[in-house]
Amino acid sequence: MGDIGQTSERWLPPKTPQSFPLGKSNIYPSGEQHGVSVSLPTWDSVIGLSRKEDWVLNNLECSYPRFYINKPVRELSSAVLRRLLVSDNSVRSMVFASATAARRCLAALRTSRTHVENPTVFEVARFFMPLESFQGATACHWANFSAVLFPFELLKEAMAFWRDTGSGLSTRHAEFCLGELDYLDCDSDNPEFRSPAPLKRDHRRIPQSLACVQSAASSAPELRSILAKLATSDRPGEPDVHADDVFLYPSGMNAIFSLSDSLSSITPNSNVAAFGWLYPETVEVLRGGSWKTCLSYKFGTEEELDQLEETLKSGQQIKALFCELPSNILLCSPNLPRIRTLADKYDFIVACDDTVAGFVNLDAISYVDVMVSSLTKTFSGTSNVTGGSLVINPNSRHRDTIKIALSTKHEETFFPLDIFTLSENCQNMAWRVKQCNANTLPLVDLLNKHKSIATVHHPSIAPTASVYESLRRKGGGYGNVLSIIFHNPASAEHFYNVLDVCKGSSFGTNFTLVIPYVQLANYWNREKVPKYGVPQHILRMSVGLEDCEQLVNTVAKALKEVDVFEGNPV
């Protein structure tokens, strides 16, 4: 696999890392729109976001799109209520590109409404461009969207659907739909919400917004080809991945949700296994989907593989196994070759999320049936767009079954301007990955030697390093994500507060980014996770493209502050 290109200075962070004020977008150039990471510069601000405290929420310019309704989406939701003449302040609106997703959201809310007295509105309103407006503008259908109307008491449940399915409108898509709203008809099961478009389009000219979307529509085939090339194995005798083996989604979580939903429909009432410490929402999707049972192996060890093998020997079957390589936060690597052997023997599908290390570092497609990736992270790097992909192993015995299952349910909801942005961002990915790999190893060494730190997790020094090594692509590295466990939880908090780098959600950005992982991702069940080796004070660090010496000096300075703190604790 050749290099994908050199970098553009436009998205390079400063050589010296720096933290942003509370609520500002973690993005370069500063002030750029569509940020997917928000600055949380103190430990308390992370907890404040998890607890939805006003002093944090009122300062947010943006936040991670699956956990927060960003301004363009809020504006479209409000415009929908005005268009439908809904004046009841107890009614909320949530917008989706897919009518199917909207209906599923409504169904989920209806099953949760037992604690809502006399709900006033439970409806889906579908906005669509009338046929007469399509003349000369083939991109018009991208203005179509659906809105779910529901009582505000169910906002928590609605956000859970938004978060776990990853199917909500992106900020770019919402901006486009808002600009087209007056040209859209509205249909609904409720006759009160049916209405023709207030305005008719002048066919003599195509608006610039439509022209831009139309121009970007060709980006999807290009992006599929890029991903196919990246995923193709360098191992002798392995076939090339083709573009038609690649499926695109508006977020990584939507890719996971869609894969789980599709695979569970192949054999109804079948079981699935979650192997290793998986991302919380992945587990929620597997548990909350159509699977009969989700078998959980949270440690992802050889001993748990033994347990899985004994379960399979006993006659209990699974349809699929989901894992991460390496896992997000503990950075350990499941024994994929052994999992592949079990899968071939007991006929189940292996789905692996490679987001943390990625195709540039890993050559693992041969051992899985389908590889899942969040394109929001390292693939993009710029922290200004979301995306996800599924890549099917062309040599998989389940290839046709998986493709049919995915194709049957697949909807084109990935907005062209988001795809175009990803296609532009990824052109320098190979260079970025190698630079970040190189910047990470000195930090791993520095942190691993410090007396205040109990454990540093990184694929290069993990107990499963030999597994990772066997799957590492020639010329690939160990990735730029590590996690840090201090002996003293108070020292972890102090280190985070004084460390002068970007701090907030996400990883794989072009700039260094740190977060107390459990306080954000597992806050409401934080008491339960330490038994799995994930203490409440664990820090995740994603190393960026800043000058390596400056990065090391910045982290070393924060460690010296910890030395002082531990010598003179407050």
Q: Domain 9-17+429-567, CATH 3.40.50.11540 — does that match?
A: no
Residue 327 and residue 277 in contact, taking contact as beta carbons nearer than 8 Å: yes
Q: Hey, which CATH number is domain 219-425, 3.30.390.30, 3.40.1550.10, 2.40.50.140, 3.40.640.10?
A: 3.40.640.10
Q: Residue 540 burial by CB count (10 A; 0-12/13-18/19+): exposed, middle or buried?
A: buried
Residue 56 and residue 45 in contact, taking contact as beta carbons nearer than 8 Å: yes
d(CA 217, CA 414): 10
The ranges assigned to domains in the chain are 9-17+429-567, 71-215, 219-425
Instruction: Enter the pTM of the model.
Output: 0.94
Asked, as a colleague might, if the bond just before 236 is cis with ω within 30 of 0, I would say no
End-to-end Cα distance, the chain: 53
d(CA 103, CA 161): 11
- Cα angle for residues 479, 224, 384 (degrees, 5° grid): 60
What's the pLDDT at 137?
A: 65
For 179-244, what is the HEC assignment? HHHHHCEEEECCHHHCECCCCCCCCCCCCHHHHHHHHHCCHHHHHHHHHHHHHCCCCCCCCCCCHH
d(CA 461, CA 484): 13
Q: What are the tokens at 263?
A: 């695979």
Residue 262 and residue 409 in contact, taking contact as beta carbons nearer than 8 Å: yes
Beta-sheet pairing, 123-128 with 185-188: antiparallel
Residue 511 and residue 377 in contact, taking contact as beta carbons nearer than 8 Å: no
Compute CA distances 410 → 99, 100, 246, 257, 402, whole Å. Answer: 12, 11, 12, 11, 12
Q: Which residue has the tokens 């020292």?
A: 491
Q: What are the tokens at 334?
A: 């499941």
What's the pLDDT at 213?
A: 86
What's the pLDDT at 202?
A: 72
d(CA 325, CA 366): 13
What's the pLDDT at 3?
A: 47
Each residue's pLDDT expressed in tens, for the chain with a length of 570 residues: 334 444 456 678 999 999 999 999 999 888 788 999 999 999 999 999 999 999 999 999 999 999 999 999 999 999 999 999 999 889 999 999 999 999 999 999 988 876 666 667 889 999 999 887 766 567 788 999 999 999 999 999 999 999 999 999 999 999 999 999 999 999 999 999 999 999 987 766 667 777 788 888 889 999 999 999 999 999 999 999 999 999 999 999 999 999 999 999 999 999 999 999 999 999 999 998 899 999 999 999 999 999 999 999 999 999 999 999 999 999 999 999 999 999 999 999 999 999 999 999 999 999 999 999 999 999 999 999 999 999 999 999 999 999 999 999 999 999 999 999 999 999 999 999 999 999 999 999 999 999 999 999 999 999 999 999 999 999 999 999 999 999 999 999 999 999 999 999 999 999 999 999 999 999 999 999 999 999 999 999 999 999 999 999 999 999 999 999 999 655
> 9-17+429-567 and 219-425 share one CATH topology?
no
Residue 482 and residue 440 in contact, taking contact as beta carbons nearer than 8 Å: yes
Residue 423 and residue 409 in contact, taking contact as beta carbons nearer than 8 Å: no
442-449 contacts at long range (C-beta below 8 A, 24 or more positions apart): 442/548, 442/551, 442/552, 443/482, 443/541, 443/543, 443/551, 443/552, 443/555, 444/482, 446/552, 446/555, 446/556, 446/559, 447/482, 447/484, 447/555, 447/559
